[in-house]
Amino acid sequence: MQVPFAALFFFAILTLWVPGYWPVTVFQVGVFALAGVAVWRARIAPPAFAWPLVPLSFAVLWGIFQWLTGRTAYAFDTQLAILQWVTFLCVFLVGICLFGDDGVRRWFRGAILWFAFVVAAVATIQTFTSNGRVFWLFDTPYTDFVMGPILSRNHYGAFIEAVLPIALYLAVRRERESLLYSGMAAVMYASVIASASRAGTVLATAEVILVPLLVWAHRGASGRNVAAALLRMGMLFAIFTAVVGWESVWSRFWAPDPLAVRRELAVSTFHMVASHPWLGTGLGTWSTVYPHYAIIDIGAFANQAHNDWLQWTAEGGFPFGIMLATLFIWCLRPAFRSVWGLGVVAVFLHAIVDYPFSRPALGSWPILMLSLLACTAAKPRDSGSPPLP
């Protein structure tokens, strides 16, 4: 079942650029079907309980409660949001049912790593040569910084952040294959620089620094091996980032007001929270309610708050925001202990300044990583060092 599960995730990313809703439907229907199979199989050998099941289930039930009681500004958007949270819950269910097997878990991590590497390589070449066309074939409303099948630079950064620590971890842990994984990590990191995503650049750089240090701290590799891996990665990172150039992202860091628009959207969202602190405005209704609380006219349709944490609290109230905060708090220990799972932490942090969880196809990736972490954390260890993927 891991092959169709992986194929669904690859399909979801490769069709993110499509303006229609049909790719989302295909992805969701496929995930629901696999979840049904997984639950049927789990009746014989159920997986171990993992805390993410609680906040993800709460999100679904909270949305249903808002919809059925009429406590939503727009019922249709809340229905779509419920489907999205059901998708996240089903992704996690399928994951914990599949990844209890060590071999499946290792295969899947390798598969998503190679997929992300290929997407990064294609995206980097495409952004300099395609004039905004996806895969050099399909026109988009943009003329630059279209990264492979992902139109948003921040969404692209979040996608790479989720997977990059796996390549970094393997580059340090596997001495014989260190050059291969160092090269993969360098291509992925350079692609984030090419996208000119500021948050993506900061978080990916933090991963590059933290992963080798944590592997060494966990005694997952000797100081000599870590130093050698850092030297290899440093040289490759310098070469690839020099090729793509720092100029675009560097100029964005020095913008006169880097938080322009985001700050005003955040203030408006705070006002929403203050007006609906306990039950929210209804999941998925931020764009409907926003005009009533807008403090500026941004000259365009405001589709998201550009801060998932604030938007979750505005749409679902403090109970919803607090419950999702427990999801983030839970992931910290297994992410730092595994080291390769730090991408989940990065995506949650990226959600402070953008909206990586707004789309089922993209938001399912950190949920997928959560299921991998849950199964890894449930396995007993003979030593304190993190296991090899």
pTM over 0.85: yes
Confidence of residue 237 (pLDDT cuts 50, 70, 90): very high
Query: What's residue 384's pLDDT?
Result: 44
Least-confidence region, from 58-62, 133-137, 179-183, 253-257: 253-257
CA dihedral sign, ordered 307, 310, 313, 314: negative
Q: What percent of the chain has pLDDT over 90?
A: 87
Instruction: Count other C-beta atoms under 10 Å from residue 237's C-beta.
Output: 21
Confidence of residue 387 (pLDDT cuts 50, 70, 90): low
Q: What is the pLDDT of residues 285-321, one digit of tens each?
A: 999 999 999 999 888 899 999 999 999 999 999 999 9
Query: What's residue 261's pLDDT?
Result: 92
Q: What is the pLDDT of residues 90-107, one digit of tens each?
A: 999 999 999 999 999 999
**Residues 221-232, mean pLDDT to the nearest whole number:** 87
CA-to-CA distance for 111 and 6, rounded, in angstroms?
8
CA-to-CA distance for 132 and 144, rounded, in angstroms?
5
